[in-house]
């Protein structure tokens, strides 16, 4: 961050503060019971001074939404992200920010056409025989319907001209603000302004490069190819670039239009269950899930399949986290809190000094009230949310990917509930989770793990004997020295926590290889 830019950031700060003051957002902050008297007056006086420099905004919106909308696209995106973090901004502000609509007037068609031609390096009429006016416009991009010379109807998403520059400027100003706040107000550190900012920057950078969205769509399409009830449009890579993304146009009905779906003969109850099941299966089976599953990004096609659009925000879960997550869900399904606690310990999340039974008791204390609400009111998202609150109390840090999963689950449950107010989340989830557990923890899963281990080991091939020797040397040294936390071994540096995995992997692999050889010989 260059020093020369600081005046620009300061001006941006003044503008942000002024707009927050004019919209009434600052008085809301000043009223926060957590603020001391001095701080409250500080905010009030600051608001008075800054007010003349702020933008007016739309007075019909609630204060926070009004301020963020008036400030620009980067602020709208930031506001939307904060709306998913009640842990950071509090439930009241997050509810208010949820109303932030990312709908803005489209930019002129000629600009979009010029952008497409320049980006794809060809005259527009050789690329598309028809290019309709924008059908949807948001702060980062807009979408046009078009037709290719081969006669395919496609959706063309085009980035707003100059959006990268606008965004990067604001994003840097945010980083500056986050750093200053974290330095001057030590009490703010609990809210991790810089970490929240980093998360924001990471997600927006992906949205500013449509090749990344296209790549996510392609991977997601491959993963879901054998799901007969779920569709991901195919990307036309020959007509996609950093600023343009072309995909198959899907004729469908918005999933929010329950009446139209019923009129077409689809059963909303079945659709609701499918939304939940597809989402869970994707998260568990492939570890890749759509993390922006609100109604605006879901259609139902003419065959009644659920269509997902908009792959700017995707979540990933590594295999260990998936196993942990499935096991936790199943333990909760069976209301087996001892098992849920043990899974936390085995995954290495529950610190060794925390007693298992006390942790199980805490889990029971937050889960039972939710179960007490009766089958159709049980929310898995809420249960997970409560679980994270407990784990935090026991000194565990919740993984960002699991938080993202839980936030998405809130959206997915909302979509399902709108389709079928009586939907029973547990009933929908249970077969998916049990099936996954059976296939991954049963004999089939063990065989697959062994095969994978053998593959890795055979890839190491000629290096294996040396690796084994080093391992033994290292283990010897470890036992000779003061203990497991003695200075890092000079030979190979591996985190202490990885040791059991490495050893188990090697032993398992060698056993597996032996078994395979026996099978081949027999
Ligand atoms: N492949 C498609 N087929 C049909 N409609 C589409 C397609 N892609 C996008 N749309 C329409 O354009 C809208 C905006 O697209 P989306 O990818 O969600 O953009 P944004 O990131 O701006 O939300 C969607 O809500 C949908 O109505
Ligand atoms: Mg969208």
Q: Is 300 helix (H, G, I), strand (E, B) or coil?
A: strand
Tell me, what's the pLDDT at 491? 39
* CA distance linking residue 474 with residue 493, whole number of Å: 10
- Report whether 394 contacts 351 (CB < 8 A): yes
Predicted structure pTM score? 0.78
Tell me, what's the pLDDT at 483? 45
Q: Where are the alpha helices (DSSP H) in 55-138?
A: 63-71, 73-83, 86-89, 91-98, 109-120, 124-127
Tell me, what's the pLDDT at 481? 54
10-residue stretch averages of pLDDT, the chain, 522 residues long: 76 87 85 76 86 89 87 83 73 78 84 97 97 93 97 97 85 82 73 78 86 97 97 98 98 96 97 96 96 93 97 92 91 93 90 92 94 84 88 81 88 93 90 91 74 76 80 76 43 46 55 54 46
Helices 319-333 and 380-393: angle between axes, nearest 10 degrees = 110
Q: 366: which residues sit within 8 A by CB, 6+ positions away?
A: 383, 386, 387, 389, 390
Q: 334: which residues sit within 8 A by CB, 6+ positions away?
A: none
Cα(310) to ligand 1 centroid in Å equals 6
Cα(311) to ligand 2 centroid in Å equals 8
* CA distance linking residue 84 with residue 80, whole number of Å: 7
Burial of 114 (0-12, 13-18, 19+ CB in 10 A): middle
* CA distance linking residue 231 with residue 305, whole number of Å: 7
List of domains in the chain: 3-101 (no CATH), 103-167+208-249 (3.30.200.20), 252-441 (no CATH), 444-521 (no CATH)
Assess whether the C-beta atom of 287 lies below 6 angstroms from ligand 1: no
- Report whether 16 contacts 68 (CB < 8 A): no
- Tell me how far CA of residue 371 lies from CA of 165, 341, 383, 426, in angstroms: 49, 18, 9, 10
Q: 439: which residues sit within 8 A by CB, 6+ positions away?
A: 445
Mutational pocket test of ligand 1: of 147, 153, 300, 310, the residue with most ligand atoms within 8 Å of the beta carbon: 310
* CA distance linking residue 183 with residue 133, whole number of Å: 48
Mutational pocket test of ligand 1: of 203, 243, 302, 309, the residue with most ligand atoms within 8 Å of the beta carbon: 309
Longest dimension (CA), the chain: 86
Cα(184) to ligand 2 centroid in Å equals 37
Could you give the angle at the alpha carbon of 133 between the alpha carbons of 308 and 311, nearest 5°? 20
In 221-318, DSSP assigns E strands to 230-231, 244-248, 252-254, 288-290, 298-301, 306-308, 314-316
Q: Looking up tokens 């939710």, which residue turns up?
A: 370
Tell me, what's the pLDDT at 253? 97
Residue 292: active-site member = yes
- Name the phi and psi angles at 137, rounded to 5: -135, 130
Among the options 170, 236, 292, 310, which is catalytic? Answer: 292
Question: Ligand 2 (ion): which residues have CB within 5 A?
Answer: 297, 310
Per-residue DSSP letter, 60: T
Tell me, what's the pLDDT at 187? 67
Give Cα 70 to chain centroid, integer Å: 26
């Amino acid at each position: 961050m260059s020093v020369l830019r600081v005046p620009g950031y300061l001006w941006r700060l003044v503008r942000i503060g002024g707009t927050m003051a004019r919209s009434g957002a600052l008085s809301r902050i000043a009223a926060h019971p957590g603020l001391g008297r001095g701080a409250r007056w500080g905010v009030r006086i600051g608001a008075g001074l800054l007010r003349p420099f702020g933008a007016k905004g739309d007075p019909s919106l609630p204060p926070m939404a009004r301020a963020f909308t008036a400030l620009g696209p980067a602020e709208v995106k930031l506001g939307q992200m904060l709306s998913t973090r009640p842990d950071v901004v509090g439930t009241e502000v997050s509810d208010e920010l949820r109303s932030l609509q990312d709908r803005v007037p489209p930019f002129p068609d000629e600009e979009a056409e010029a952008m497409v031609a320049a980006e794809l390096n060809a005259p527009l009429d050789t690329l598309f025989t028809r290019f309709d006016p924008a059908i949807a416009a948001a702060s980062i991009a807009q979408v046009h319907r078009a037709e290719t010379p081969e006669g395919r109807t496609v959706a063309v998403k085009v980035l707003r001209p100059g959006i990268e520059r606008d965004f990067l400027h604001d994003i840097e100003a945010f980083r500056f603000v986050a750093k200053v706040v974290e330095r001057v107000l030590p009490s703010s550190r609990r809210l991790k302004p810089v970490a929240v900012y980093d998360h924001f920057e990471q997600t927006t950078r992906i949205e500013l490069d449509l090749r990344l969205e296209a790549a996510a769509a392609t991977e997601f399409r491959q993963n879901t190819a054998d799901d007969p009830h779920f569709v991901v449009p195919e990307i036309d890579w020959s007509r996609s670039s950093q600023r343009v993304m072309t995909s198959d146009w899907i004729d469908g009905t918005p999933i929010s239009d329950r009446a139209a779906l019923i009129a077409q003969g689809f059963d909303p109850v079945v659709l609701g269950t499918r939304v939940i099941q597809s989402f869970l299966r994707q998260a568990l089976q492939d570890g890749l899930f759509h993390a922006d599953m609100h109604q605006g990004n879901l259609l139902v096609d003419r065959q009644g399949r659920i269509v997902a659009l908009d792959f700017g925000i995707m979540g990933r879960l590594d295999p260990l986290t998936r196993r942990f997550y499935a096991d936790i869900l199943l333990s909760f399904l069976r209301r087996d809190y001892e098992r849920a606690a043990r899974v936390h310990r085995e995954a290495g999340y529950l610190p060794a000094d925390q007693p298992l039974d006390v942790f199980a008791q805490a889990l029971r204390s937050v889960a039972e009230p939710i179960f007490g609400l009766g089958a159709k009111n049980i929310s898995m998202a809420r249960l997970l949310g409560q679980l994270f609150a407990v784990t935090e109390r026991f000194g565990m840090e919740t993984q960002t990917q699991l938080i993202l999963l839980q936030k998405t689950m809130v959206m997915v449950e909302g979509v399902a509930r709108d389709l079928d107010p009586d939907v029973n989340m547990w009933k929908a989830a249970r077969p998916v989770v049990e099936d996954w557990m059976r296939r991954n923890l049963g004999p089939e899963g063990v065989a697959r793990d062994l095969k994978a281990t053998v593959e890795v080991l055979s890839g190491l091939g000629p290096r294996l004997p040396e690796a084994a020797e080093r391992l033994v040397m290292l283990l010897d040294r470890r036992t000779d020295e003061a203990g497991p936390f003695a200075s890092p071994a000079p030979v190979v540096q591996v985190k202490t926590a990885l040791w059991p995995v490495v050893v188990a992997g090697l032993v398992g692999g060698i056993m597996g290889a032996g078994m395979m050889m026996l099978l081949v010989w027999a």
